[in-house]
């Protein structure tokens, strides 16, 4: 009888010890973190960096003297401004050098908004450096076109120039031409060419700064003549 009581007491003590251990484990959250049911089973994120592949080049266009459409109707100035702003690059200045874009001039004329000149028929107006063709205004003066282009290199990188009037075979907007490629060619008839500084607002720098009346000599015109002379154009004083 005594042995039976002892066994019963020992069994009771063992049960109490087991219950106490279980209560301690469940009741101590510092030792057993709660399970987040909202993220259980989801894969862990693996952050990574996407690097561009070296040597991949953006799409380019042919630059073999493409032809514009100088006979088209003149678009509104608002459209020209929009096209210019879409195409502009705002290239940073650097130490690249320029070449004379008007190497084939046979006679220099007056200074007005820009510099006027005559050339042999078919002679090219050259890109003075890498340039981007921004827009063409088909009916700028007396039914003749004007083409805007941005200098992409040299001290004047980011500035816009134009050549206008007696030109044909005009490079298409959006093209990037290398130094020495033809921006346009001298046409068989017209009022000669005018070469000058422009703005991205679709008007010449002369009109944007000091205004212009037909035949007036402007600071912008003098500036472009000096710029051409610095490249060996021998354009005189005009």
Is pLDDT of 25 > 90?
no
40 vs 159, higher pLDDT: 159
The answer to whether domain 77-229 has CATH 3.40.640.10 is no
Instruction: Confirm if 190 and 144 have CB atoms less than 8 A apart.
Output: yes
Per-residue pLDDT tens over the stretch 73-125: 667 777 777 777 777 888 899 999 999 999 999 999 998 899 999 999 999 99
Q: Which residues pair with 116 in a beta bridge?
A: 194
Query: How far is the C-alpha of 84 from the C-alpha of 199, rounded, in Å?
Result: 9
Q: Give the per-residue pLDDT at 26.
A: 39
State the DSSP code for 235: -
Whether 195 contacts 125, CB under 8 Å: yes
Query: Could you tell me which residue, 110 or 71, shows the higher pLDDT?
Result: 110
* pLDDT at residue 175, rounded to an integer: 95
Whether residue 49 is predicted with pLDDT greater than 50 in this model: the reply is no
Tokens of 144: 């003749």
Enter the tokens of residue 83: 């096209």
Q: Mean pLDDT throughout 198-220?
A: 80
Q: Which of 194, 82, 58, 184 is nearest to 135 (CA)?
A: 82
For the whole model, what pTM was predicted? 0.67
The C-alpha angle with vertex 21 and arms to 15 and 26, in degrees rounded to 5, equals 125
């Amino acid at each position: 009888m005594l042995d039976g009581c002892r066994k019963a007491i020992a069994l009771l003590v063992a049960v109490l010890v087991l219950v106490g251990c279980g209560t301690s484990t469940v009741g101590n959250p510092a030792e057993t973190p709660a399970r987040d049911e909202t993220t259980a089973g989801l894969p862990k994120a693996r952050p990574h960096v996407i690097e561009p592949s070296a040597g991949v080049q953006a799409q380019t266009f042919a630059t073999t003297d493409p032809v514009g459409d100088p006979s088209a109707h003149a678009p509104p100035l608002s459209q020209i401004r929009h096209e210019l702003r879409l195409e502009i690059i705002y290239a940073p200045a650097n130490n690249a050098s320029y070449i004379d874009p008007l190497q084939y001039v046979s006679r220099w004329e007056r200074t007005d908004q820009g510099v006027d000149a005559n050339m042999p028929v078919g002679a090219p107006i050259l890109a003075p450096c890498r340039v981007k063709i921004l827009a063409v205004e088909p009916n700028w003066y007396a039914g003749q076109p004007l083409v805007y282009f941005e200098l992409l290199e040299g001290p004047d990188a980011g500035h816009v120039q134009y050549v206008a009037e007696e030109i044909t075979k005009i490079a298409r907007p959006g093209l990037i031409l290398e130094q020495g490629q033809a921006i346009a060619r001298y046409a068989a008839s017209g009022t000669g060419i005018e070469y000058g500084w422009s703005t991205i607002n679709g008007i010449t720098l002369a009109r944007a700064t000091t205004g212009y009346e037909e035949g007036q000599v402007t600071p912008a015109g003098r500036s472009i003549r000096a710029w051409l002379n610095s490249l060996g154009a021998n354009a005189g004083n005009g």
